[in-house]
Amino acid sequence: MSEYTTTVGLEIHAELKTNSKMFCGCKNDPHSATPNTHVCPVCMAHPGTLPTVNERAVELVLMVGKAIGGTLADFSEFDRKNYFYPDIPKAYQISQYQYPLVKGGELGGVKITRIHLEEDTARSQHEGEKSFVDFNRAGVPLMELVTEPVIHTAEQAGAFARELQLLLRTLGASDANMERGEMRVEVNLSVSKTDTFGTKVEVKNINSFKAAEAAIVFETKRHIETLEAGGTIIQETRGWDENKGKTFSQRIKETADDYRYFPDPDIPKLLRSDRPDWSDAALEAALPETPEKKRIRYAALGLPSDQIEIIISDVAREAFFAAAVGDDSYEKLTKTLANYFITDVLAHLESGERVLDRAHALAFRALGALVLEGHINSRVAKDLMVEVVFDGADAKALAEARGLVQRSNADELIPIIDEILAANPTVVAELKAGKDAVLQFLVGQGMKATKGSANPGMLAEIIKQRIG
């Protein structure tokens, strides 16, 4: 049955990180613990109220569009998408239909169709016979990105969604947590044996990347099995049941006609030329470094891609690392810092007790440089790591004060070695008899006596000389 091709397009919604809602002054805080506190006559659709466009939300979508190389609309308008549901007070949602803010572009090798701006619905909660609605989320700015149907595997879809999440976080456009519903992925899938697409099914209620991937695998199998058994696929919307690991039929899919879209007469048309800071050049200049550009920069500094992915996967952590590397780092220092960052710094962060402060990034860099210059060895560096990285301590001053500066001076080390050899006659005899393994024990004693500050290679050399 391998002759079937799966084709997937994604529709991804993301709640934008603005202070206020999309069309009113209410606080944008959909996760607030107390329901129905961030509401006003506008987002509750009282008669006679008028919406005002949140320009920051427009700007964030334009930034995303710029980052993916899309074409930004010179002119845009908002439309009413009419449908009746308890979570939508106006009985229509303000969205963009004919004139989205962004068309085209590409992210992670996936072509983008469009990105538009709309408002989120309220949150419904069902408990037994009762249903509750929290309008704190109603009117929160929501970005919708639609990809071309060019994805063919679950892995590709997951990778795209993760890349978009990283981009949104990098731009500060959205926190994009799938588990919190700040980012929602819908899968449009069909299978076909020919160049013509098969019947498309939409899958919703997906609240993790893993669930998106699993839904694609499940639907592909269901489609193929249905077709092979002589059945037909119905165009419909299906939900993802996380517990059962399968999709289920929700409703027959509406078409655009069902929504009777029309331009919202209460909202003035958006002309980008009215805002000089929304020109292509101004947005380009204001754009933070994208994940793709970070990859290129770190690769040029000699970091392997697996390390780069770890570093750039968290925006705040990467900002700290980038500040440590600075504009003038060289390959050897960058690699040293990357190793310490991934093996030591991140381990301390995982425990959750410490947070990174960018003010201490240069102290971290200085620590790496001290190792490369041979002032301290790697073991001392690891011992000083917490104080330097999290408290901003001066590594050089600490090492000097504690007598941890690397001793590579033989004159200084010889008396220490002689003392150790005198105290361990049996071991010395074994070494003389050719039992090389005991050399490590003596080196260890030397490291202990120098509080880890000696150069272990040099200690081994001196021991061999002294007993030879």
Residues that bind Zn ion (CB under 5 A): 24, 26, 40, 42-43
- Closest distance to Zn ion from the beta carbon of 29 (Å): 11
Residue with Cβ nearer Zn ion (36 or 313): 36
Residue with Cβ nearer Zn ion (26 or 58): 26
Distance CA 35, CA 378 (A): 53
Q: Per the structure block, which two tokens stand in for 232?
A: 């037909």
Q: Per the structure block, which two tokens stand in for 273?
A: 């030329």
Closest CA to 213 of 171, 255, 180, 242: 242
Half-sphere exposure of 137 (CA within 13 A, CB side): 19
> Phi/psi of residue 248, each to 5°?
-140, 150
- Closest distance to Zn ion from the beta carbon of 39 (Å): 6
Residue with Cβ nearer Zn ion (29 or 292): 29
- Closest distance to Zn ion from the beta carbon of 134 (Å): 13
Half-sphere exposure of 457 (CA within 13 A, CB side): 4
SS (HEC) of the chain: CCCCEEEEEEEEEEECCCCECCCCCCECCCCCCCCCCCCCCCCCCCCCCCCCCCHHHHHHHHHHHHHCCCEECCEECCEEEECCCCCCCCCEEEECCCCCCEECCEECCEEEEEEEEEECCCEEEEECCEEEEECCCCCCEEEEEEECCCECCHHHHHHHHHHHHHHHHHHCCCCCCCCCCCEEEEEEEEEECCCCCCCCEEEEEECCHHHHHHHHHHHHHHHHHHHHCCCCCCCEEEEEECCCCEEEEEEECCCHHHHCCEECCCCCCEEHHHCHHHCHHHHHHHCCCCHHHHHHHHHHCCCCHHHHHHHHCCHHHHHHHHHHHCCCCCHHHHHHHHHHHHHHHHHHHHCCCCCCCHHHHHHHHHHHHHHHCCCCCHHHHHHHHHHHHHHCCCHHHHHHHCCCCCECCHHHHHHHHHHHHHHCHHHHHHHHCCCHHHHHHHHHHHHHHCCCCECHHHHHHHHHHHHC
- Closest distance to Zn ion from the beta carbon of 25 (Å): 7
- Closest distance to Zn ion from the beta carbon of 12 (Å): 25
Residue with Cβ nearer Zn ion (80 or 365): 80
From residue 285, alpha-carbon distances to 16, 279, 280, 304 in Å are 21, 10, 9, 29
Residue with Cβ nearer Zn ion (46 or 210): 46
Residue with Cβ nearer Zn ion (43 or 64): 43
- Closest distance to Zn ion from the beta carbon of 38 (Å): 7
- Closest distance to Zn ion from the beta carbon of 142 (Å): 15
Cβ neighbours around 372 below 10 Å, total: 13
Residue with Cβ nearer Zn ion (121 or 450): 121
The single residue listed with the structure tokens 């893993």 is 210
Residue with Cβ nearer Zn ion (26 or 325): 26
- Closest distance to Zn ion from the beta carbon of 116 (Å): 21
Residue with Cβ nearer Zn ion (40 or 301): 40
- Closest distance to Zn ion from the beta carbon of 94 (Å): 13
- Closest distance to Zn ion from the beta carbon of 285 (Å): 33
Residue with Cβ nearer Zn ion (24 or 211): 24
- Closest distance to Zn ion from the beta carbon of 49 (Å): 9
Residue with Cβ nearer Zn ion (16 or 63): 16
- Closest distance to Zn ion from the beta carbon of 41 (Å): 7
Residue with Cβ nearer Zn ion (41 or 109): 41
Cβ neighbours around 66 below 10 Å, total: 21
